[in-house]
Structure 1
Amino acid sequence: MDAIDKLKAKYPGANSWKMGDSPELAHELATLIVKGIKTASCGSFASYHQEEPAPRIGSYNIILDGQDVPVCVIRLVSMRLVRFCDVTEAFARKEGEGDLSLGYWRKEHQQFFTREGYFSDEMELITEEFEVVEIL
């Protein structure tokens, strides 16, 4: 039984995944979570329709680094549907990236969603807040 399987046995129903769209970004974001700087994330509403099973409040997630190594387990504590243009400075700070400003968040996430295949200032996002339950 590998490390991910052991964690899934400890946290039944947990998904394992890495954040971002490159190994470098996955490593950077996982490090921010472990340090307690990143306590939120978001994704396009369209991408959530493709996830199996869909995330839900209270669910556990095993966060992987850029080499698919588990670094921590988080628990989802909040989810909201928000348009890109309505994301707040407070949420941008909780994402924990760059200089923590809304301007930085908008620039980087516009680039991310464009790489993902679709961006609009009016696009709907699922914003998530989470807590770290175990650092590995």
Structure 2
Amino acid sequence: MPEYEDLQETYPGAGTFKLGHDAESCTAQINLVRRGTKRALCAPLADFEDDPQSMPVEGRTDIIAHWNNTPALVIKTVKVQQIRYCDVNTNMAHSDLGRDEFVAWRKATKAAIKLDHKFDPEMMLVFEFFQLVEDLDGRQIEPRS
């Protein structure tokens, strides 16, 4: 029987979350993080109102999961910034989208926000800049019960 690693022992206090709104977008974003082109996450501030513990915190380590909830990556938050959608600059958008297409970022982010919120160009966003700590591909991770 193989030995399994408990990620909560390796990364105490790490939260787990998924990227995107479906399996395809989740996989695409995980691949961008793996390649080093996606270095930030962006979400409406309103997403954290009901669960303030999920708000990113500088220095915290978290686990990004695949759509099926298996761990994929470990990241460490290096900077958190609250900013209005209309004030996001090209460098921020590039860090989130994983490529240098500001108009595409605006369009994709607006569409994603509209899935769960009423869009307002002056709405507050939370930008979480991170570094990749570990790619968990191939690791023997303890299954969650």
Q: How much is the aligned-residue C-alpha RMSD, in angstroms? A: 1.8
The one-character-per-residue Cα deviations of 1:55-99 (angstroms, maximum 9, x if unpaired) are 2111111011222221110000001110000000011111134x5
Matched residue, 2:62: 61
Partner of 1:122: 122
- TM-score, normalised by the number of residues in structure 2: 0.85
4+ long deviations beyond 3 Å:
none
Distance 1:79 1:94 in 2: 13
**TM-score for both structures, normalised by structure 1:** 0.90
Amino acid of the residue matched to residue 19 of structure 2?
M
Q: Measure the CA separation in 1 of the matches of 2:52 and 2:134.
A: 23
* Distance (Å, rounded) in 2 between the aligned partners of 1:65 and 1:32: 13
User: Equivalents in 1 of 2:52, 2:90: separation in Å?
Assistant: 30
The correspondence of residues 68-83 of structure 1 with structure 2, limited to 5 A, is 68-83=69-84
Structure 1 position 134 matched with structure 2 position 143: no
Ranges in structure 1 where 5+ consecutive residues have no aligned partner: none
- Alignment partner, residue 6 of structure 2: 6
Equivalent-residue separation in structure 2 for 1:75 and 1:122 (angstroms) = 28
Separation in 2, partners of 1:89, 1:10: 36
**Taking structure 1 as reference, are residues 103 and 86 closer, same or farther at Cα in structure 2, changes over 3 Å only?**
same
Count how many residue pairs are aligned between Structure 1 and Structure 2: 133
Deviation of residue 19 (structure 1)?
A: 1.0
Gaps of 5+ in 2: 137-145
Q: C-alpha distance in 2, partners of 1:6/1:25? A: 27
1:90 lines up with 2:88 in the alignment: no
